[in-house]
Amino acid sequence: MIYFALLCAFCNCVAYAIPVSKNEKFTDITIIGTQNDLFPFFGGSAPYFSYPMNSGVSVEAPDKCSMKQIQLFARHGERYPTNSTAQLIKSTYGKLKNAHLNSTGSLSFINDDYCFFLEDPTQFEELTTLKNVIDPIDPYSGQQDAQRHAREFMYHYGDLLENTTTLPIFTSNSKRVHDTALYFGQALSNKLNISMQVISEEASSGANTLTPYNSCKDYNETEHAAIYAKFPKDYLSGISRRLLLENPGLNLTTSDVTNMFSWCAYEIDTRGYSPMCEIFTREELVYYSYNLDLISYYGEGAGNSLSADVGSVPFNSSIELLKQSEYLDNKVWLSFTHDTNLINYLTAIGLFDDGLKLPADHIPFRQSSYHRSWMVPLGARIYTQLYQCGNESYVRYVVNDAVIPLEQCSTGPGLSCKLSDFLDYAEKQLQKTNFLQDCKVEQSSNQTELTFYWDYQKMHYNAPLFLSEPH
Ligand SMILES: *[C@@H]1O[C@H](CO)[C@@H](O)[C@H](O)[C@H]1NC(C)=O
Ligand SMILES: *[C@@H]1O[C@H](CO)[C@@H](O)[C@H](O)[C@H]1NC(C)=O
Ligand SMILES: *[C@@H]1O[C@H](CO)[C@@H](O)[C@H](O)[C@H]1NC(C)=O
Ligand SMILES: *[C@@H]1O[C@H](CO)[C@@H](O)[C@H](O)[C@H]1NC(C)=O
Ligand SMILES: *[C@@H]1O[C@H](CO)[C@@H](O)[C@H](O)[C@H]1NC(C)=O
Ligand SMILES: *[C@@H]1O[C@H](CO)[C@@H](O)[C@H](O)[C@H]1NC(C)=O
Ligand SMILES: *[C@@H]1O[C@H](CO)[C@@H](O)[C@H](O)[C@H]1NC(C)=O
Ligand SMILES: *[C@@H]1O[C@H](CO)[C@@H](O)[C@H](O)[C@H]1NC(C)=O
Ligand SMILES: *[C@@H]1O[C@H](CO)[C@@H](O)[C@H](O)[C@H]1NC(C)=O
């Protein structure tokens, strides 16, 4: 006990060596990996997992078809919480540490030789790596996720790189996004030169960015806060009441309880498991998860009035790349950014929009296909595949390892959409949007088109990296 208290104090819990003597830390080995079934409940804060509802159709090009182009639009990998979330978790930790917790209750782990995972503020906002994780055997670091993803990429799409010597990788200039892209690029192949194209997140980038909502003047994530505020919070007060029964005098607010959910998710990212996760029942996780879906749907998904406008920027470029596939030397287009940008993009495509507004008074168990954590877990990856079968070309989406057919167009081989039909569909989707006008882009920037896929060789994008959100 004392030994561990000292160890914690001296190294701030960060990356201690794998213990060689018999002690409690060996228990990590038996616990890590046992919480994977919780990942879908955290709205995208827990480690990567594959899309759970899979038709079973292979992600390989179907028989007698050959892959012609692949586009990737990816989220950064597993990370430490942002500074603001870390501060909230720390405040709740402080409350628990100072409370006289029941030594046999569900929070009693705090009394034991527990090493808090947010002692080192220099790691907040950072990707988790082999160097900064709390437990060296944490299998969920953002670094390893990106490296594994790159090897899988080579397995599926490596043939498209046969004539490539220098491969551009497009990334926003957020450090964790950049680091994910870099680990991914380095793990692809030592026969490739990777050319990092670092695109600024600033509003002045206008449309020429991977983060167009920053240039959207009227984009308001909380425009429908009044709707999702109505979602019953009984599940939070229920948890707080249960913990009070166990620990007389423990006065936790519903915000504390919300912080404990984030604690659970981010501790898994950084340590590989979290004792905090064990205090929640499955029912409570279901309520929490839907609460996050609701906030996301109205804040960044189809429920937001400008989400599709913003997402039309990458969607339009993706369509241009498909149209020009035959003429472009590069067959592989890799882009890395944040969760919200992926959701805006999916909204513009219309991939997970069943046209029904999410209700705030109950959970729509039977109808909704909007699950934030299924769409954008840490390390999320949206692929656009273009393949040719005979003399015809086809397009389809693969989201987090699962083929996700377009509801309106899926009769091609492998549940794909014939390219010409897809272009008609895309045109209709884009006609519903007007990024420049609806977002008043010209008030903040003179960049009215996304050009970096076409002019990177001339421009050499290298915006300076930043750690925390610029806004
Ligand atoms: C982190 O958040 C705290 C509290 O909100 C603030 O005082 C501090 O300046 C922030 N640190 C950074 C590096 O942004
Ligand atoms: C401590 O928690 C256990 C398990 O919830 C409970 O049975 C016991 O009554 C609690 N003790 C006190 C002093 O509250
Ligand atoms: C590579 O170049 C050869 C020779 O021009 C060509 O036949 C082949 O299709 C190219 N591969 C790709 C993936 O473009
Ligand atoms: C990488 O780029 C350098 C400089 O342009 C070039 O000399 C080298 O041949 C390239 N490597 C590969 C594997 O193409
Ligand atoms: C966003 O919308 C909400 C709800 O209408 C409003 O209260 C808030 O002021 C808006 N925020 C901005 C920055 O306009
Ligand atoms: C619990 O906390 C609230 C708000 O922090 C405070 O108003 C209340 O007096 C506290 N109750 C007890 C029993 O400490
Ligand atoms: C779509 O992309 C093309 C090619 O980059 C561009 O010329 C066009 O202006 C874009 N359209 C919209 C609506 O952004
Ligand atoms: C494509 O191939 C089919 C059958 O193989 C043929 O009927 C059709 O005319 C061809 N279309 C074009 C545009 O070449
Ligand atoms: C666009 O704005 C940038 C920076 O504000 C400026 O340097 C550039 O000259 C402008 N370009 C045009 C075509 O006006």
Rounded distance from Cα 121 to ligand 1 centre (Å): 9
pLDDT number for residue 371: 96
Return the CA Rg of the chain: 23
Is 469 a residue whose pLDDT tops 70? no
Is the whole model's pTM more than 0.85, yes or no?
Answer: yes
**DSSP assignment letter at 408:** T
Q: Which of 138, 145, 256, 339 is catalytic?
A: 339
Share of residues in the chain with pLDDT > 70 (%): 94
Tens digit of each residue's pLDDT (9 = 90 or more) over 55-83: 899 999 999 999 999 999 999 999 999 99
Establish whether 76 is a catalytic residue: yes
pLDDT number for residue 113: 83
Establish whether 28 is a catalytic residue: no
Contact present, 345 and 15 (Cβ < 8 Å): no
Tens digit of each residue's pLDDT (9 = 90 or more) over 31-51: 898 999 999 999 999 999 999
- Provide the token pair at 100: 């006289």
Is the beta carbon of 468 within 6 A of some atom in ligand 1?
yes
Q: Where are the beta strands (DSSP E) in 164-262?
A: 166-172, 193-199
Residue 115 makes CB contacts below 8 A (sequence gap 6+) with 4, 7, 8, 13, 134
Give the mean model confidence (pLDDT) for residues 243-256.
Answer: 96
For residue 350, give the nearest of 312, 381, 378 by alpha carbon: 312
**CA 210 to CA 11: how far, in whole Å?**
37
Domain CATH for 447? 3.40.50.1240
| Residue 468 domain flag | no
pLDDT number for residue 30: 85
pLDDT number for residue 112: 82
CA of 323, nearest ligand number? 7
Q: What is the per-residue burial (b if ≥16 Cβ within 10 Å, else e) of 180-206?
A: bbbbbbebbbeebebebbbbbbbbebb
Ligand 4 atom closest to residue 192's alpha carbon, by position in its atom list: 13
Tens digit of each residue's pLDDT (9 = 90 or more) over 139-176: 999 999 999 999 999 999 999 999 999 999 999 999 99
Residue whose Cα lies nearest atom 8 of ligand 8: it is: 391
Rounded distance from Cα 388 to ligand 9 centre (Å): 41
**CA 162 to CA 169: how far, in whole Å?**
17
Domain residue limits at 209: 2-459
| Residue 470 domain flag | no
Identify the weakest region by mean pLDDT among 30-34, 203-207, 372-376, 458-462.
30-34
pLDDT band at 15, cuts 50/70/90?
A: very low
CA of 243, nearest ligand number? 2
Residue 98 makes CB contacts below 8 A (sequence gap 6+) with none
| Residue 403 domain flag | yes
- Provide the token pair at 385: 């595949």
CA of 208, nearest ligand number? 7
Is 289 a residue whose pLDDT tops 90? yes
Is the beta carbon of 220 within 6 A of some atom in ligand 5?
yes
pLDDT number for residue 2: 34
How many separate domains does the chain show? 1
Contact present, 117 and 270 (Cβ < 8 Å): yes
Is the beta carbon of 464 within 6 A of some atom in ligand 2?
no
Rounded distance from Cα 196 to ligand 4 centre (Å): 15
Is the beta carbon of 83 within 6 A of some atom in ligand 1?
yes
pLDDT number for residue 7: 39
Residue whose Cα lies nearest atom 1 of ligand 3: it is: 163
pLDDT band at 367, cuts 50/70/90?
A: confident
| Residue 200 domain flag | yes
- Provide the token pair at 167: 């491969």
| Residue 469 domain flag | no
Tens digit of each residue's pLDDT (9 = 90 or more) over 196-226: 999 999 999 999 999 999 999 999 999 999 9
- Provide the token pair at 1: 């006990």
How many Cβ atoms sit within 10 Å of the Cβ of residue 421? 17
Would the CA dihedral through 57, 48, 140, 105 be positive or negative? Answer: negative
pLDDT band at 12, cuts 50/70/90?
A: very low
Residue whose Cα lies nearest atom 10 of ligand 2: it is: 246
| Residue 237 domain flag | yes
Is the beta carbon of 316 within 6 A of some atom in ligand 7?
yes
| Residue 467 domain flag | no
